[in-house]
């Protein structure tokens, strides 16, 4: 069964179009729209709609799709329905777009964090299946409500946690589950300070860098641990100066969350430390990302940014590259990124929606395969409690479920 998909959000991760041109990052051709266009060419997606707030951006986005996608890859149709009209600005355009969709359609939400809840609720009540860019929402209360309403309307509600489909991360998850009680994890993820220009409209206002980046590795840890341990306390610390001085954005540069865990069966304690920053200098990778994990019976670590694959050109470019996330280089003139984990994350959602609509599966059947709302509440609890700790001068804050 072909699935109609509505994407809400028109920024870098969806389109690759930032500031009137291709993003100056590793996502100049975008991710979400490119994957959906290819899925349509493969017969998995039917109608594709794109919704933003400022319709005046759409002519530039359409030209960008032609320049970056259809002219580069053979057989890719980049036609898309858009909301609102090209001459309109409508901050509530998502409501009109959702009303135009059929029940059973899928919606992918890639908007500022504080808008996720209202948009997702509107879509669920339209009986649409929902995939939300991390984090799902900012509070446990909102997360719980999405779980409840998703069950009421019998639709899939999930988070686009693409690192779960990285073959190294998924292997690490399976290995770590045999290492006994959880003891310690240390994760780090950063993006260059140029991203603060891209995120300037919402950074420090609707969300922070911990929600945006720490969510990845907190989700990984929750995925590893499952129901064998639970977070009981968080305290958070921050560094400041660069965002405010250089860009006039009053927000934290770097945030570290320190989480106390309890292994449920044994009562043994564990610690996780998660650091995220968006003031890194330009380097050989767009995003530094790595973690160390230790259980009572073993340890492992991954430097996800450096896979031993580098490139250098006579023009002066030097980079560590990761085609496992998204392969943008054409192969014999065709798009060849279907096996990447950035692609798989979206395709698995589309496949799940099709199976549910065909009556071959229920939303709950994907709790072990996707980052569903039902299985990710602890991640939201940690992120929210970390924010509360920051707002209280770094005081330890107990987590209650």
pLDDT of residue 132: 98
Q: Which of helix, strand or coil describes residue 390?
A: helix
C-alpha count within 13 angstroms, C-beta hemisphere, residue 36: 28
pLDDT of residue 204: 67
Contact (CB, 8 A) for 350 and 39: yes
Q: What torsion, rounded to 10 degrees, do the Cα atoms 174, 176, 180, 185 define?
A: -150
pLDDT of residue 247: 76
**Residue 191 CB contacts under 8 Å (≥ 6 apart), including other chains:** 213, 277, 278, 280, 286, 287
Q: What is the DSSP letter of 307?
A: -
309, two tokens = 């694959």
pLDDT of residue 85: 96
What DSSP element (H or E) covers 208?
none
Q: Which of helix, strand or coil describes residue 104?
A: coil
Count of C-beta atoms within a 10 Å radius of residue 393: 9
pLDDT of residue 97: 98
CA nearest to 156, candidates 391, 386, 373:
373
CA separation for the pair 115, 118 (Å, rounded): 6
Peptide bond into 135 cis (omega under 30): yes
> Which domains can be identified in the chain, with CATH numbers?
3-160+339-369 (3.40.50.720), 167-323+380-398 (3.30.360.10)
pLDDT of residue 192: 87
Please list the alpha-helical segments (H only) found in 187-323. Answer: 195-198, 209, 215-225, 242-247
145, two tokens = 């409500």
Q: What is the DSSP letter of 156?
A: -
Q: Which of helix, strand or coil describes residue 139?
A: coil
Phi, psi of 190, deg, nearest 5: -140, 160
pLDDT of residue 133: 97
283, two tokens = 């380097």
Instruction: Answer positive or negative: Cα dihedral of 159, 161, 162, 167.
Output: negative
Q: Which of helix, strand or coil describes residue 8?
A: strand
**Residue 227 CB contacts under 8 Å (≥ 6 apart), including other chains:** 264
CA separation for the pair 119, 115 (Å, rounded): 6
Radius of gyration of the chain (CA): 21
CA nearest to 291, candidates 344, 228, 193, 218:
218
User: Pairing mode, if any, of strands 371-372 and 157-160?
Assistant: antiparallel
Walk along the chain (401 residues) and give the pLDDT tens digit of each residue: 789 999 999 999 999 998 888 888 788 899 999 999 999 999 999 999 999 999 999 999 999 999 999 999 999 999 999 999 999 999 999 999 999 999 999 999 999 999 999 999 999 999 999 999 999 999 999 999 999 999 999 999 999 999 999 999 999 999 999 999 999 999 999 988 887 777 767 766 678 899 989 999 999 999 999 999 999 999 999 999 988 887 788 889 999 999 999 999 999 999 999 999 988 988 898 889 999 999 999 999 999 999 899 999 998 789 999 999 999 999 999 999 999 999 999 999 999 999 999 999 999 999 999 999 999 999 999 999 999 999 999 999 999 87
Q: 379 to each of 104, 140, 259, 317, 336, how far by Cα in Å? A: 27, 9, 11, 37, 33
CA separation for the pair 34, 76 (Å, rounded): 9
pLDDT of residue 244: 84
pLDDT of residue 320: 92
Q: What is the DSSP letter of 207?
A: B
**pTM of this prediction?**
0.94
């Amino acid at each position: 069964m072909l699935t109609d998909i509505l994407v809400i959000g028109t920024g870098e991760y969806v389109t690759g179009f930032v500031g009137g041109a291709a993003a100056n990052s590793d996502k100049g051709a975008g991710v979400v729209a490119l994957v959906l266009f290819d899925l349509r060419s493969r017969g998995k997606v039917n109608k594709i709609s794109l919704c933003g707030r400022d319709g005046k951006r759409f002519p530039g986005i359409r030209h960008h799709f032609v320049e970056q996608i259809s002219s580069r890859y053979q057989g890719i149709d980049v036609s898309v329905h858009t909301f609102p009209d090209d001459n309109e600005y409508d901050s509530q355009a998502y409501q009109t777009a959702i009303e135009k969709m059929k029940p059973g359609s899928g919606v992918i939400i890639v908007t500022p964090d504080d808008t996720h809840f209202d948009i997702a609720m509107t879509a669920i009540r339209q009986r649409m299946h929902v995939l939300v860019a991390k984090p799902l929402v900012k509070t446990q209360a909102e997360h719980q409500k999405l779980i409840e309403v998703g069950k009421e309307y019998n639709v899939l509600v999930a988070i686009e946690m693409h690192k779960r489909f990285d073959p190294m991360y998924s292997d690490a998850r399976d290995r770590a589950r045999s290492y006994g009680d959880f003891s310690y994890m240390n994760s780090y993820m950063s993006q260059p300070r140029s991203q603060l220009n891209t995120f300037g409209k919402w950074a420090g206002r609707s969300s922070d860098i911990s929600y945006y980046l720490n969510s990845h590795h907190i989700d990984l840890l929750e995925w590893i641990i499952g129901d064998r341990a639970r977070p009981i306390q968080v305290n958070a610390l921050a560094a400041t100066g660069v965002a405010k001085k250089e860009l006039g954005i009053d927000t934290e540069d770097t945030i570290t969350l320190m989480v106390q865990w309890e292994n449920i069966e044994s009562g043994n304690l564990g610690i996780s430390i998660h650091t995220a920053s968006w003031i890194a200098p330009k380097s050989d990778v767009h995003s530094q990302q790595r973690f160390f994990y230790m259980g009572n019976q073993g340890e492992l670590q991954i430097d996800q940014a450096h896979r031993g694959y580098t490139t250098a050109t006579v023009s002066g470019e030097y980079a560590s590259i990761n085609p496992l996330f998204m392969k943008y280089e054409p192969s014999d003139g065709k798009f060849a990124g279907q096996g990447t984990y950035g692609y798989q994350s979206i395709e698995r959602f589309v496949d799940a929606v099709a199976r549910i609509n065909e009556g071959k599966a229920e939303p709950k059947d994907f709790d072990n395969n996707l980052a569903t709302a039902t299985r990710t509440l602890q991640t939201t609890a940690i992120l929210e409690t970390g924010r509360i700790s920051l707002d209280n001068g770094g005081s330890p804050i107990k987590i209650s479920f």
